[in-house]
Structures are given as structure tokens and as C-alpha cells.
Amino acid sequence: MVTELPVRGTAFVPHRGRGTALILLASVSFGASGTIAKPAMLAGLSPEQVATARIGLAALVLAVVVAVFRPRLLLLRRAEWPLLLGYGLLGVAGVQLCYFVSVQRLPVGIAILLEFTSPVLIALWTRFVRRTVLPRRMWFGIALAMGGLALVAQVWDGLSLDALGLLLGLCTAMCSAAYFLFGERGATTGDPLGMVTWGMIIGALVMCAVAPPWTLPASVLAAPAAFGPWQPPVWMLVIAVALLSTALAYGLGTAALRHLPAAVASVVGLLEPVVATATAWALLGESLSWAQLAGAVVMLGGATLVQLGQDDTSRTAHACSRPAGSASG
């Protein structure tokens, strides 16, 4: 009989390669969301309506799947609620709401750059709250990745900062950092699928209060949308962004946090804007400049340096935690 529980007496062993593969897949899934959702918004749906449908459908699908196949994950202890509330309110609903408002008041490139400053916030949290000394290589990798992101986002194009938009853009970054930090803790202390499911349910309740699902216009949902060479109905794109770029993406990302620290996963997740730019170029005809291609290469180099820096930190922590002269086993 096959069981999903670890064998008694054995401990979960993180696997760096598996975690990296999961976060890369999550970045691809997340990055495709804008390309899938943009035609639906051009057809007449508001960003808030798309977010409500996206999170609500993902919550419904995850809840049904978990209820059928792993119902024990829906049972919660009182001590788990604070973590899940933080994950759902900030890591799910907060990211969506703050980003949508900031992008209305700032150029899209600036809004994306502000959101993906979350690795810097996570590094600061790790250094000054957790009091973990980070190697210089890791700091340099973060700076390099952020510089590459600036090239990808082309922040020099149409720069005009609005005070409220800037504040909400920074709030988006904080919510994104909370997603990684809450996800890291929840994934290492519980089941990632249960955390994502409850996080989606909580996020869906918040979004439904902002943009009730009954306000979705049926005529727009049935209308065709321009999606590359295809003309799918809007409702099909909404379902695709809910399943592929929300339920699957959050599940993969949270599972990756069982294997990677938040500081590493958040920087590897910077590949998301690269994926977003590439898919928008391939399917929506949006141009991809040489500067953006160069930025993608710089971002990959920065992510690699962060991985190497985290390896140094892990080896140092392991050496410090092992008593001198002790025998293995």
C-alpha cells in the first residue's frame, strides 16, 4: 500500500534541483497569466473582475479536488489560521489588488519593477529579522537580477511617478515577499496543497467582496477574444488563467519552497517577467527589444549567483550546527 506520509524515523530531505525545477515551472505558469488575461480585459472585463474570476475558480477547483482525494487537508488546527490568513490576504489577494491599482497610476514597466523588488525585501528580512548573514555573492546576485529586470521592464519608457501609485507598487512588493515567506514556512511545516487551497479560498472571499462574481457581464464572457491566431471566447481564457496560471502556479511555487529558501526562490521567480514578455511577443505581437533580451540574460546570471551564494550559506550553517569532534550518525 502506497502512502503519502513519510516513513517513520525518516526526515524530509530538500532537493535543490527539484525545487529549482518547480519554481521555474511556476514562473512560466505565472508569467503566462498576463498574456492570457490581457485579451479578456481588452474584450471588456475589468482587471478586478479577471482577478475575482481567476482566484475564485482556482479556489473552487482546488477545494473540490482536495475534498475528493485528500479531505484531511481541509481540517485545520487553530494554530494554523494566522499563517493561512496572512498567506491568503497578502500572498494571494493583496498582490492582485495592489498591482491592479498601481498599474492604473504608473507605467506598467515601473509597476512590474516595483512588484519584483520583493527579493530585496526578503533578503533584508533574512538579514535583519532572522539575523542570517548573507554572503556578498548573494547580495551582488540580487542587485544584478534587479538590474536585469529594469532592462526587461524598460523602466526608462514613459517614466512618470504618482505618489499613491508608487506606494501601492511597494505594497505589491511587500505582498509578494509575504507570499514567499509565508509559503516557505507553511510548506516546511505542513502540506503545500492544503496551504494553497485555503489561501485561495481566503483570497477568493476578499476578491469577491471587491468585485462580486455576479457583476461579470455574460455578453463579454461569450464574446471572442484575439489571442494570437485564435479567437477563443473570453470565458475560455478566464478558465485557462485560473487553472494554469493560478491553481497550478501557486501549487508549484509553494511546493518549491519545501526545497528552496524564500530568498533563493524569489530571485529565481524573477524569470516571470521574462516569460511574460516572451509570450506577449509570441501571441500578442508585442515587441521584444534587444535591451529586454540582454536584461533576461543578466537576470539569469543574477539568479545563478544567488543560488551559489545560498550554497555557501547552507554549508556554513551546517558546519556551525555540527559539534566539534562529533561522529556522524
**Each residue of 69-110: pLDDT tens digit?**
999 988 888 888 999 999 999 999 999 888 877 877 777 777
Please tell me which of 30-39, 80-89, 302-311 the model is most confident about, judged by mean pLDDT.
80-89
Rounded to 5°, the CA angle 95-97-102 comes to 95
DSSP three-state, residue 172: helix
What φ, ψ does residue 305 adopt, rounded to 5°? -65, -40
Does 122 score more than 80 pLDDT?
yes
Parse the chain into domains and list their residue ranges.
Answer: 27-314
Q: Using CA atoms in the order 101, 105, 107, 110, what is the torsion angle rounded to 10 degrees? A: -70
Instruction: List pLDDT tens digits, range 156-166.
Output: 765 556 778 88
In the chain, % of residues over pLDDT 70:
86
Gap between the Cα atoms of 84 and 91, Å rounded: 10
Confidence label for 287 from pLDDT (cuts 50, 70 and 90)? confident
Gap between the Cα atoms of 61 and 59, Å rounded: 6
- pLDDT value, residue 200: 93
Look-up: residue for cell 511555487?
253
Gap between the Cα atoms of 223 and 235, Å rounded: 8
Instruction: List pLDDT tens digits, range 204-231.
Output: 999 999 899 888 999 999 999 988 889 9
pTM: 0.79
Rounded to 5°, the CA angle 71-83-90 comes to 110
Look-up: residue for cell 547552507?
314
- Provide CB contacts within 8 A for 289, sequence distance 6+: 154
